[in-house]
Amino acid sequence: VTSDATPDRIGILGGTGKLGAGLARRWAAAGIPVVIGSRDPDRAEARAQELRRDIPVDAAELSGASNLAAASAPLVVAAVPAEGAEELVADLAGTLAERILVSAISPLAFDASGPRPAPLADGRSAAELVAELAPAARVVAGLHTVSSVGLSDLAHPLDEDVLLATDDDAAGDVVAAAIGHLSGARPVRAGPLRLAGTLEALTAVLISINKRHRVHAGFRVTGLER
Ligand SMILES: NC(=O)c1ccc[n+]([C@@H]2O[C@H](COP(=O)([O-])OP(=O)(O)OC[C@H]3O[C@@H](n4cnc5c(N)ncnc54)[C@H](OP(=O)(O)O)[C@@H]3O)[C@@H](O)[C@H]2O)c1
């Protein structure tokens, strides 16, 4: 972590996927080295090679490795489907100790009416489950409303806010600094981790808006500047 709280490396669990790849492109293009993790390191390396073709030549290193290697970065993003999160985070709990871990996981269900939030059986959010499975990790919930399509389009800055929920203020500062490097994104500290479920549910709202209006929308909070 540098003096302005920007992490000097970011690891992405499930970085071969849609959200992870979009984040990796943007952060590497902004000069932050990124390692995308996968259950299959060969797949991650192949994906990293593909992503490197689309980023400026002066971008930071973008590499592919195991999820375990990605989990050893000072800032780690969990960008895996809710179904796979429990086993993955439990397996990596030791490595994730003292790391800042962003949970972007949104548990959703889909039917004929579209997406809806699908919180865990006991009403907990995915981020709270992650915090329980990796108790020494510094968990921040965020990135739930950032579209992978927008992230991957490096020619256009994002135009949106990224809401963060955490009980660890210093970890929130580091994540906010990292989000500040996603061009056009503004981090907004929303409150404690117990609000994570509300942020996760917003993904369903966003997907529904996108389908109805045939767009890739983002969220904005107004009235923050005084
Ligand atoms: N896509 C978006 O725009 C977006 C926006 C906001 C939030 N999110 C949230 O971010 C998370 C990732 O979304 P996504 O669209 O990027 O998902 P995705 O592309 O379907 O999956 C991401 C990666 O997760 C890994 N994975 C899949 N199943 C797994 C399992 N059972 N166990 C461990 N790893 C598994 C895969 O990597 P390997 O096979 O290489 O291991 C896959 O490439 C989700 O929780 C989603 O709700 C997505």
Ligand 1 centroid vs 109 CA: distance in angstroms? 14
Confidence of residue 4 (pLDDT cuts 50, 70, 90): confident
Is the pLDDT at 1 greater than 60? The verdict is: no
Q: What is the CA radius of gyration of the chain?
A: 16
DSSP labels for 158-200? --EEEEEEES-HHHHHHHHHHHHTSTTEEEEEEE-GGGHHHHH
Residue 172 pairs in a beta bridge with none
Which residue minimizes the CA distance to atom 44 of ligand 1?
Answer: 81
Place of tokens 């989000």: 179
* Ligand 1 nearest-atom number relative to CA 21: 16
> What does the pLDDT average to over 106-111?
97
Model confidence pLDDT, tens digit, residues 211-220: 999 999 999 9
DSSP state of 59: P
- Distance, CA of 95 to CA of 137 (rounded, Å): 9
**Residue 134 in contact with residue 196, Cβ under 8 Å?**
no
pTM equals 0.97
Reading the block at residue 57, the tokens are: 């030549």
Using the mean position of ligand 1's atoms as its centre, give its distance from the Cα of residue 221 in Å.
26
| Percentage, residues of the chain above pLDDT 90 | 94
The pLDDT tens digits for 44-57 are 999 999 999 999 99
Question: Does the pLDDT at position 182 exceed 80?
Answer: yes
What's the CA angle centered on 122, arms 117 and 126, to 5 degrees? Answer: 50
pLDDT at 226: 75
The full DSSP string for 62-80 is EEEEEHHHHTTSSEEEE-S
**Is 86 in a helix, a strand, or coil?**
helix
- Ligand 1 atom having least distance to the Cα of 151: 3
Ligand 1 binding pocket includes 39 (Cβ within 6 Å): yes
